[in-house]
Every structure is written in structure tokens, then in C-alpha cells.
């Protein structure tokens, strides 16, 4: 046997332990709302709160805004303290979500989400990007020509 092969240590793999349903909690007892970009036109939000229902989720367009100046796009009431929702958005826009309660006509914040920058929905018109794309296409064409030449040689 090769000397280098003798130096290699072998480790036993850990046996798989079945995860029981009780090990994954139904709730974490934290106030939290998360906002995610699905594609240039859709957002997804999920939340969990320790507050009693009804709650209000507000979504803000914070593109080029300085906090705390928010431009609320829309809000909706939710009856569950745990939930999720798909939302419509616009490309190249930054969004923020808040969940809270309405008390005496005022919004009382329970949790605030992360900022989400929506992706662009069109091809870049940046000259540098366009030149890089042209260079890449030329290289791909050259590689295809070389492959064809090698195919004829064989």
C-alpha cells in the first residue's frame, strides 16, 4: 500500500437521526416580518408576532428616501399573528414592510422588515456591459469554430 494512502484517516459518518415533529417549533415567540424579492414584479412577506389580532401590514416604497420619510404604497389587515402574503412590486424599487396594530387611530409598530431592492427587468444599456457581452459572444464563436475544425481533423 502506498505510504500516502496510509496517512489518510478515515472517519465514520454520523448515523442519520430522525427528526421528530416536536423538535421543530410551530412558533418562535418573536416579533418578526421578512420581505423577499421573488422576481422583478413580485414580493413575498412572512411574519410572526406575539401580539393579538387584528394586525396591519404596511408596505413602503423607500427608493431614494431618507428615513423616517416613508411613502406608503398600501396596507392590509391580517387576522393571524403568523402568516405570509405575495405582493405586487415594481422593478428597480426598494421596499420595506412593517407590521403593527392600529390603536386610537395611530399605527403602533410591532416589527419592521429588511430593505428589499427589486431586480431590474430589462437588459443593461451600460456601454461597458454591452462591450463585455460582445467580447463574450466573439469568444464563444471562436471556440465553436475551433471545435468544428477539430471535428474535421478526426
Kindly report, residue by residue over 69-121, the tens digit of the pLDDT. Answer: 667 788 899 988 899 999 999 999 999 999 999 999 888 999 999 999 999 88
Phi, psi (5° rounding) for residue 72? -65, 130
Cα 111 from Cα 32, distance rounded (Å): 5
Domain holding 128, by residue range, is 123-154
Q: Are residues 152 and 79 in the same domain?
A: no
**Is 3 within a domain?**
no
| Domain shared by 105 and 152, yes or no | no
What's residue 116's pLDDT?
94
**Whether residue 42 is found in the same domain as residue 113:** yes
116-117 and 55-61 beta bridge pairing: unpaired
CA distance 10 to 86: 48
Check whether 9 has a pLDDT greater than 80: no
Q: Is there a single domain that holds both residue 89 and residue 129?
A: no
Are residues 135 and 83 both part of a single domain?
Answer: no
Q: Which phi and psi angles does 66 have, rounded to 5°?
A: -105, 135
Three cell numbers written together for 54: 387584528
Task: Give the whole-angstrom CA distance, residue 82 versus residue 36.
Answer: 16
CA distance 92 to 31: 28
The pTM (predicted TM-score) of the whole model is 0.64
Q: What is the mean pLDDT of the chain?
A: 80
> Looking at the structure, do residues 113 and 127 belong to the same domain, yes or no?
no
What is the distance of C-alpha 37 from the center of its chain?
Answer: 5
- Give the pLDDT of residue 26: 76
Amino acid at each position: 500500500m502506498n505510504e500516502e494512502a496510509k496517512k489518510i484517516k478515515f472517519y465514520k459518518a454520523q448515523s442519520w437521526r430522525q427528526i421528530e415533529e416536536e423538535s421543530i417549533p410551530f412558533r418562535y415567540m418573536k416579533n418578526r416580518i421578512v420581505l423577499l424579492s421573488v422576481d422583478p414584479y413580485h414580493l413575498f412577506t412572512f411574519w410572526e408576532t406575539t401580539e393579538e389580532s387584528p394586525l396591519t401590514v404596511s408596505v413602503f416604497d423607500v427608493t431614494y428616501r431618507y428615513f423616517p420619510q416613508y411613502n406608503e404604497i398600501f396596507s392590509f389587515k391580517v387576522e393571524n399573528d403568523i402568516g405570509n402574503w405575495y405582493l405586487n412590486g415594481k422593478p428597480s424599487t426598494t421596499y420595506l414592510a412593517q407590521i403593527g396594530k392600529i390603536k386610537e387611530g395611530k399605527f403602533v409598530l410591532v416589527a419592521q422588515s429588511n430593505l428589499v431592492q427589486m431586480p431590474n427587468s430589462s437588459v443593461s444599456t451600460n456601454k461597458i456591459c454591452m462591450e463585455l457581452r460582445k467580447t463574450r459572444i466573439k469568444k464563444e464563436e471562436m471556440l465553436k469554430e475551433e471545435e468544428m475544425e477539430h471535428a474535421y481533423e478526426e
